[in-house]
Amino acid sequence: MLLPILALGAVSFIISWVATAAMIRIAPRVGLLDKPGGRKIHDNPKPLGGGVAMFVGFALPMLVGLAIVNFADVSLVTRYVKYPDVVALVAGGQKQSPLSLGMLAAMFVMHVMGLLDDRRALGPYSKLLVQVGVVSALVIGFDMRALTALDKLGLGPVPSIVVTVFWITAVTNAFNFLDNMDGLSAGVAAVCSIAFFVTTVSIQQWFVAATLALLIGSLLGFLFWNFPPARIFMGDSGSLLIGLVLGVLTVRTQYLTPGHDFARGWYAVFAPVIVLALPLYDLVVVSIIRLSRGRSPFVGDTNHFSHRLVARGMSRRTAVLCLYLVTAATSVAAILLPHVRSTFAAALIFSQTILVLGLVALLEQHPLPLHDERGSRMEN
């Protein structure tokens, strides 16, 4: 079962790699350029539009895959295919097709908004309003809710809907904020996606695993050209995209292993929080710093963890690799969480995550600049 899913990832990688190479040439001709100046750390104009390549690398094979599974006759597949997991993937693909198409529509809207912002900066709160609207439509329209146990509070699905919309929007903005250095947002997203992929394979959620494989392939195809020194940037059209997809897929994943109920493994639902601990930590800390200075949390500056590491003397590439490793450290623990059988073991995993974030907090204790340089882009 794993081989066809990995093949999907390979197809996505090839499409994304080729499309990114094409966008390096196309973007300057259509005005998609990120020019240096202000707080920006690059010295020469860089093409934007890597988000276009990632969108094509993800959406095209997904649409083809959905077309194949929906035209397949499950009864014939069951009769002639001797691998039950393949049958499960086909049946799951047919069942999840409406949600998948809805997710692609949401991705397209978010992607177009990002492209518009890359061409001419949009107001941060208008962008946030669109994000909340898109996510709310997806959550309510497809009843895609996290923590449905909150329904027992007596308020119906409202608490679960609010939590889900808040979660997906937060993850979307976390990766948007993280897009502040070559290779950072895409690389961290790839590490997180691989962790979620391993988790979904281990608990046999094949359709979510296949979707994650597409995301990983599209990220790595782009990252080939974006790893420092970058030849192209993803722009908002990419960072908003990957945050949205990861947020949605974390909600769609059931973090309990087959045969175990929620009462015995309730702590497994916190696996995505642990995997995404670093992006969410950076989002919260940077927002607090900006608000404490009387500024909008959406106005970019150089107070991210990556910037602090460079200010301490690291090269940009080393700082990016450091964030990869920190993300991997929390992700490995999160992969184990759905499989532990005691609250004590889960508490150890939570404690490890807190200790890793404590180390991050110590590493970023570099004096804040007295005067931030205000840039034209507002997403970081």
Residue, of 58 and 378, whose pLDDT is higher: 58
Q: Residue 34: beta bridge partners?
A: 46
pLDDT digits (tens, 9 = 90+) for 191-226: 999 999 999 998 888 889 999 999 999 999 999 999
Token readout for 5 is: 């899913």
For residue 215, CA distances in Å to 43, 61, 133, 182, 197 come to 30, 11, 23, 19, 10
Pair 89, 208: CB distance under 8 Å: no
Nearest to 58 by CA among 26, 110, 7, 104: 104
Q: How confident is the model at residue 377 (pLDDT cuts 50, 70, 90)?
A: very low
pLDDT at 37: 53
Nearest to 62 by CA among 173, 195, 218: 218
Q: How far apart are CA 166 and CA 164, in angstroms?
A: 5
Q: Is the pLDDT of residue 370 over 50?
A: no
Q: How far apart are CA 353 and CA 332, in angstroms?
A: 10
- The arithmetic mean of pLDDT across residues 120-124, rounded, is 82
Pair 241, 111: CB distance under 8 Å: yes
DSSP H/E element including 174:
helix 158-178
pLDDT digits (tens, 9 = 90+) for 126-181: 899 999 999 999 999 998 888 777 777 778 888 899 999 999 999 999 999 999 89
Whose tokens are 């979660």? That residue is 167
Residue, of 8 and 96, whose pLDDT is higher: 8
pLDDT at 374: 35
pLDDT digits (tens, 9 = 90+) for 69-104: 887 665 555 554 555 666 666 766 777 888 999 999
- The arithmetic mean of pLDDT across residues 12-29, rounded, is 94
Residue, of 108 and 38, whose pLDDT is higher: 108
Q: Is the pLDDT of residue 322 over 90?
A: yes
How many residues would you count in the chain?
380
pLDDT digits (tens, 9 = 90+) for 248-302: 999 988 776 555 555 455 777 888 999 999 999 999 999 998 888 888 888 777 7
Cβ neighbours of 120 (radius 10 Å): 8
pLDDT at 154: 79
Q: How confident is the model at residue 307 (pLDDT cuts 50, 70, 90)?
A: confident
Q: How far apart are CA 290 and CA 58, in angstroms?
A: 34
Q: How confident is the model at residue 378 (pLDDT cuts 50, 70, 90)?
A: very low
pLDDT digits (tens, 9 = 90+) for 26-60: 988 887 887 765 555 555 678 888 999 999 999 99
pLDDT at 364: 79
pLDDT at 338: 81
Nearest to 106 by CA among 70, 146, 133: 133
